[in-house]
Amino acid sequence: MKKKYGHRFDGRHVSVLACLIASVCSAADWPCWRGPSRDGISRETVWSHAWGTNGPAVVWRASVGKGFSSFAVADGRVYTMGNTGGQDTVFCLSAVGGATLWRHTYPCELQPLSYEGGPSSTPAVAEGRVYTFSKGGDLFCLDARDGRVLWSRAFAPWPWREGDWKNTWRYAGSPLVAGGRLVMSLGEAGTAFDARTGATVWESPAGHPGYASPVPFRAGETDALAFFAGHAVIGAEAATGRRLWQIPWRTEWDMNAADPIIHGGRLFVSSGNGTGCALYDLAASPPREVWRTKHLRLPMNSAVLWQGYLYGFNDENLTCVAWDTGEARWSERSLRRGALMLTADGRLLLLSENGQLVVAQATPEAFRPLARARILQGRCWSAPVLANGLLYARNAQGEAVCLDLRP
């Protein structure tokens, strides 16, 4: 059945390649999932956690529909997604005032399987365009000024082509814009489109795409991408999709949702449901396992790497693990199954599952909280975003809040 769409104007040295991200934005903007370097680390240092006993000042609140989409912030605007009444909506809001500048709505099932449902993908903003992806496989390129559809593609979730695996929770990966291409977690090891026209540049063989997002990195002289598939983590050439390496990785329910982290020629990968994590040396062919442990079991949200240590949420706690050895340095049980980001001065911004915002120093010595405040009610799994001194957060029911952290 044809859908109707509408918008309303209302093995070598490897390092994260930030320059792949094709976004023109100010230093403090956050134009896509995990930020401009796709590592969960903000460039901001001028912000304050000295908000006193009443918590941070609320700048605005908005209702954006059920879902787990995080936020993209660019050029004074903030973008997110939600579902209401069997329809997804892409929201463009004023970053400072919260007013709805435009919205784009289309039919999409909520699909609340074991949780509230709704979209999990986060929009990406690049060169005046907004790219969004629904749980049902609706891919849009929208004009950032007014929400006008520039092009769209549709991929039925099971399967979108013969031979693809059925995704229990359908699609969740967020768009990556790099080198003039839009890269998506479609097929076993990704699909690339021309970012301006939507034409397919390359596609991987049919297979289980997993729930994580593509991660750009540099393999020697080659621009490359890492994909967390349903049963493996795969490295591919960015220009052609040619497979560079593949590491088997099987988990219960194929729940591979946290993005891999690549640093210094090594790859970190982690999954929840008791699976655990491992570090691989990509200089070896095939990649060689350096260590494996269950100290860090990421069920959904990605970890951050800071000064040789990983910080991330297990189901039951927040944990710090050494990058080189996998040694657990500390765990904190008061914060459960949340999401986090890190600022350039080494402070963690943590949003727990029950809506508690915590600022903590990123140190392997101990969990050192600096400030706490309850900012939302209900389930909170979406990653918070700090951009230009304002913090954006939401819960599963679609209550979004903007907090003032400017000093």
- Edge-first strand order for the sheet with 328-332 is 304-306, 309-313, 318-322, 328-332
The answer to whether residue 105 sits within a structural domain is yes
- Give yes or no for a contact between 66 and 83, defined as CB atoms under 8 angstroms apart: yes
- Say which residues have a Cβ less than 8 Å from residue 56's Cβ, sequence separation at least 6: 357, 373, 375, 391, 403, 404, 405
Per-residue pLDDT band at 206 (split at 50, 70, 90): confident
In this model, does residue 10 exceed pLDDT 80?
no
Query: Mean pLDDT score of the chain, rounded to an integer?
Result: 91
pLDDT of residue 18: 39
pLDDT of residue 160: 63
H/E segment holding residue 96: none
| Bridge-based pairing state of the strands 266-271 and 6-8 | unpaired
Q: Report percent pLDDT > 70 for the chain.
A: 91
The answer to whether residue 354 sits within a structural domain is yes
The answer to whether residue 6 sits within a structural domain is no
The answer to whether residue 1 sits within a structural domain is no
pLDDT of residue 157: 63
The answer to whether residue 375 sits within a structural domain is yes
pLDDT of residue 29: 96
CATH code, domain with 19: 2.130.10.10
pLDDT of residue 55: 94
Distance CA 199, CA 243 (A): 21
Give Cα 382 distance to the centre of its chain.
Answer: 9
Whose tokens are 């090891």? That residue is: 189
The answer to whether residue 2 sits within a structural domain is no
Distance CA 324, CA 309 (A): 8
In this model, does residue 336 exceed pLDDT 60?
yes
Per-residue pLDDT band at 315 (split at 50, 70, 90): confident
The answer to whether residue 4 sits within a structural domain is no
Q: Identify residue 328 by its one-letter amino acid code.
A: A
> Among 7-11, 156-160, 291-295, 389-393, which stretch is predicted with the lowest mean pLDDT?
7-11
Give the 3-state secondary structure of 27-71.
CCCECCCCCCCCCCECCCCCCCCCCCCCCCEEEEEEECCECCCCC
Q: What average pLDDT score do residues 49-58 get?
A: 94
> Among 12-21, 107-116, 255-264, which stretch is predicted with the lowest mean pLDDT?
12-21
Number of domains in the chain: 1
pLDDT of residue 165: 64
Q: What average pLDDT score do residues 242-257 get?
A: 91
Distance CA 361, CA 349 (A): 9
Q: How far are the Cα atoms of 143, 356, 357 from residue 387, in angstroms, in the given order?
A: 22, 19, 16
Q: Domain span at residue 166?
A: 11-404
- Give yes or no for a contact between 105 and 88, defined as CB atoms under 8 angstroms apart: yes
Per-residue pLDDT band at 255 (split at 50, 70, 90): confident
In this model, does residue 358 exceed pLDDT 70?
yes
pLDDT of residue 254: 81
For residue 173, which of 164, 181, 161, 182 has the smallest C-alpha distance? Answer: 182
pLDDT of residue 98: 98
The answer to whether residue 395 sits within a structural domain is yes
Q: Which two tokens stand for residue 326?
A: 């996998």
Per-residue pLDDT band at 131 (split at 50, 70, 90): very high
> Among 156-170, 305-319, 341-355, 374-388, which stretch is predicted with the lowest mean pLDDT?
156-170
pLDDT of residue 8: 44
Q: What is the pLDDT of residues 20-48, one digit of tens each?
A: 343 334 458 999 999 999 999 999 999 99
Q: How far are the Cα atoms of 120, 184, 196, 305 from residue 131, in angstroms, in the given order?
A: 14, 11, 11, 27
> Among 7-16, 53-62, 122-131, 352-361, which stretch is predicted with the lowest mean pLDDT?
7-16
Q: What average pLDDT score do residues 302-328 get?
A: 96
In this model, does residue 163 exceed pLDDT 90?
no
Per-residue pLDDT band at 11 (split at 50, 70, 90): very low
Select the more confidently predicted residue: 336 or 269: 269
Q: Identify residue 10 by its one-letter amino acid code.
A: D
The DSSP secondary structure of 343-379, one letter per residue, reads: -TTSEEEEE-TTSEEEEEE--SS--EEEEEEE---S-
The DSSP secondary structure of 124-141, one letter per residue, reads: EEETTEEEEE-TT-EEEE
Q: What average pLDDT score do residues 100-111 get?
A: 96
